[in-house]
Amino acid sequence: MTHLTLQAVTKRFNAAHAVDSVDLSVPDGKLVCFLGPSGCGKTTLLRMIAGLETPSSGSISFAGRDITYLPANQRDFGMVFQSLALFPHMTVAQNVAYPLKLRKSAKDAQARRVAELLELIQLPHMANRPVTQLSGGQRQRVAIARAIASQPKLLLLDEPLSALDAKLREAMQVEIRLLQQRLGITTIMVTHDQREAMTMADEIVVMEKGRIAQAGKPLDIYRDPVSEFVADFIGLGNILPVTYDGAGGVSLPGGRRIAVAQAPRLPESGRDIRLLIRPEDVCVKPVSGDAGTNRVAGTVTFIRDVGASLEATIDCAGFTLTAATTPRETPGLALGMPVYAELPPYACKLIAARAAP
């Protein structure tokens, strides 16, 4: 069931389009990430959903009701801001209870709800502690508890983890995802971190210059991006300019021809296209015998060894490739070693070249 629907939503600031004709449906109970670089419109889009910005045109509906111009305080949505916006003069329990107090809930009902939420975020022993004495992760949990205290129908998260260090950030990604699944609350989260989106989301909406570049399940977008922009933004990838020959093959920089698997969006011959192959799909082989159909010769110029995995840079004639492998798969890999990089046809994706600025 679709709970949130956006139709041709546009936001202009003078002549600039921050959001441009966005159509989107958010299913009930799912976590959707708005992903993109700074200035792509993702936070402006979230603020329009929240009611903190008014669309210049288009409509926003929730549960079949038009909320385009409904004030934010009447939407029954919870929101966690990037700054968290906790009240420093209040205790943990007082912060969590604040939205219930605004709704004039009975004091005993407030106490029960606060106790329930503090158990949920695993901080019942800190109810009377000032929020200024909490760690970053603890403050994050309190902000989420406050946002869901009044049992909102939609939870909106605006880059809530950006201020945390890397280790705590990864731990909180898991905690928020588990909490969202346990509550079954429809959630929209803004992030510029593709790893965060891949970890947490049921669906990702990749935004570029105010528009949706691609939307879908995380692995679908990672494996089958529609453009160079999406391929480059989602994960690591080898993206090479190629010429399609119209017969199931492409010419790489330097003239080497390799076969590619047919794809639904196969570009026309002669058009500007790119070949995408992810590092984990590049197979590093020792030099022996013929190079074969989809093997290109190269030299290892850099190795990043993190123990369980290796990332090798291979200098080929006219281009470089990054290959992700393991010490077991490629024993003895060393700088300066001549190798073959095998590019399986099924892993070679043809995508539209990035549009000129």
Asked if 243 and 216 sit in the same domain, the reply is no
The domain of 281 spans: 236-352
Asked if 252 and 189 sit in the same domain, the reply is no
Asked if 215 and 295 sit in the same domain, the reply is no
Q: Is residue 230 part of a domain?
A: no
Share of the chain above pLDDT 70, in %: 95
Asked if 213 and 284 sit in the same domain, the reply is no
C-alpha triplet 311, 313, 318: angle, nearest 5°: 155
Write the pLDDT tens digit of every residue in 186-195: 999 999 999 9
Q: What is the CATH number of the domain that holds 321?
A: 2.40.50.100
Q: Is residue 42 part of a domain?
A: yes
Write the pLDDT tens digit of every residue in 278-327: 999 999 988 876 667 799 999 999 999 888 899 999 999 889 999 999 98
Write the pLDDT tens digit of every residue in 51-92: 999 999 999 999 999 999 999 989 989 988 877 788 889 999
Per the structure, how many domains does the chain have?
2
Whether the model clears a pTM of 0.85, i.e. scores above it, the answer is yes
Which token pair is 318? Answer: 């006219």
Determine the residue type at 197: A
Q: Is residue 229 part of a domain?
A: no
C-alpha triplet 72, 78, 80: angle, nearest 5°: 105
Question: What does the pLDDT average to over 19-32?
Answer: 95
Determine the residue type at 43: T
Lowest-confidence region among 238-242, 247-251, 312-316, 320-324: 247-251
Separation CA 315–CA 323 (nearest Å):
11
- Using CA atoms, how far residue 61 sits from 33, 216, 270, in Å, is 19, 20, 43
Q: What is the CATH number of the domain that holds 56?
A: 3.40.50.300
The residues near 128 (Cβ < 8 Å, ≥ 6 apart) are 91, 92, 93
CB 29 within 8 A of CB 186: yes
- Using CA atoms, how far residue 338 sits from 26, 98, 262, 335, in Å, is 50, 65, 31, 9
